[in-house]
Chains A and B, each alone.
Chain A
Amino acid sequence: MKPAHHLDPATVVAFAAGALSEAMAVVAATHLAGCSHCHEQVRDAERIGGVLVEQQQPDGAGAARREKLRAAMLERLDETPVEAPGLAPALPAAPDPDRLPAPLHPYFGTSFGALKWRWMAPGVHCIRSAGTGGGQLFMLRITPGRSMPLHSHGRGELTQVLRGAYDDVLGHFGPGDVADLDSEVMHQPVTAAGVPCICVAALDAPLRFPGWLARRLQPLVGL
């Protein structure tokens, strides 16, 4: 499965820089987990980050403090490394079609089968994730052959197709494809025939205003 629709390079930079809101980062990572093309782009963007960090010119101040930190570091070189326990995800022996992509696990659980869908509109079910400090993160399940209302987004939107497919003015989006939209795009997705279309999507929100403001802003603008 090779994705046909990729992340915008501007989104790649933001991901690598740690500048995406948490919700957008989760959707981007879900795409990256299945897209070696975008993954390679992120590695390039991280190289740029490395060079930028190295190019900075620290001032010479705080020599005494620096000497103290240096001595502290020398003392720690004999420490036995502490490995963070239980962080590596256990990979299933065989690909399990019911398993959600790993980046979604902390937000939606591990399997499609256990998702608790909530009715939103005829043919449309939704799950909103509570755990993100910035941006709105949600999953959508839309019955086949359904036309969504024409809409645009006040902010950026990132949508990754997990199952099924939809078509809009930008093309055909199937499993593994990501739609990286900015506020100027008006679109009217129509889900393809066959299986329901399941997507994970994020709406951008300012990183620095998590919590109450994000909750007040109407999610799913225009849907």
Chain B
Amino acid sequence: MKLQPTGGTPSPFEAIRIVSTSKLPANDGHDWSAEMVAVAQRRDRASFMRIYDHFMPRVCLYLKGMGSTAAIAEELAQEALLRLWQRAASYDPALSRVSTWLFRIARNLHIDRVRKETGWMLVQHALEAEEADHDGRTGSSAEAYAEHTRLKACIDRLPATQARLVRMSYFEAKSHHEIAEELGMPLGTVKSSLRRAFLKLQADVRGAA
């Protein structure tokens, strides 16, 4: 395993302080992948529960936005976090952030269980098999972490319309067509705005070394 705990690992003291803060700011400097490494290497329950406390309500909110009832959202969010614990051994901090991993798991659970799109999981498995074959991306956990922080800042700087379209896509799973109808915008404008937003965010993730 390519696990290299970084300097960002909180000491037990810091960790306690972080979890005991009742209201966590969105841009807190916590390096969740370091916690995940502790889970992967030592099956560290305290680390896992810190990840749980931070992400569980967020994943739950996400699933409700996607159209799940409160009860289903809770059930699927629990399931998503449990999978994170169970599959921790295959976590590679250089390849993805904890938040990316959870996002994928939660989205897949939603499409599979709530929308009941039979092909989706098969498609995801086919893509993952493909990915295992040619994974060209390398990097360290520290790089992925810096990237994550830049991305957060860049999302905050998006123009209002672009930010709105991004949110409607990710949090309400609205198609371009539905967004166009709801906002009374031409379909082409929806697509070009989303395109600009994505390219901006992507450039920020990839460009700044």
Contact = CB atoms under 8 A, between A and B. Distances in A.
**Are these two chains actual partners, yes or no?**
yes
Interface in A47-70: 47-58, 60, 66, 69-70
Contacts of A21: 175
Interface size bucket, A side?
35 or more
A156 B119 contact: no
Interface of B is mostly: helix
A136 B111 CA distance: 18
Interface string B132-173: 001011000000000110011001000000000011011111
A54 B173 CA distance: 17
B131 A13 contact: no
Contacts of A183: 187-188
B170 A52 contact: yes
Contacts of A184: 187-188
A57 B177 contact: no
Contacts of A103: 119, 122-123, 126-127
Contacts of A168: none
B122 A77 contact: no
A54 B99 contact: yes
Interface of A: 8-10, 12-14, 17-22, 24-26, 29, 32-33, 36, 39-41, 43-58, 60, 66, 69-70, 72-74, 76-77, 79, 81, 84, 87-89, 91, 101-103, 105-107, 131-133, 155-156, 182-184, 204-208
27 contacts: A10-B195, A12-B198, A18-B66, A18-B173, A19-B175, A33-B127, A36-B136, A40-B137, A44-B205, A46-B104, A47-B151, A47-B205, A51-B99, A51-B155, A52-B171, A53-B55, A53-B106, A54-B26, A56-B61, A66-B57, A77-B48, A103-B119, A103-B123, A132-B117, A182-B176, A183-B188, A206-B178
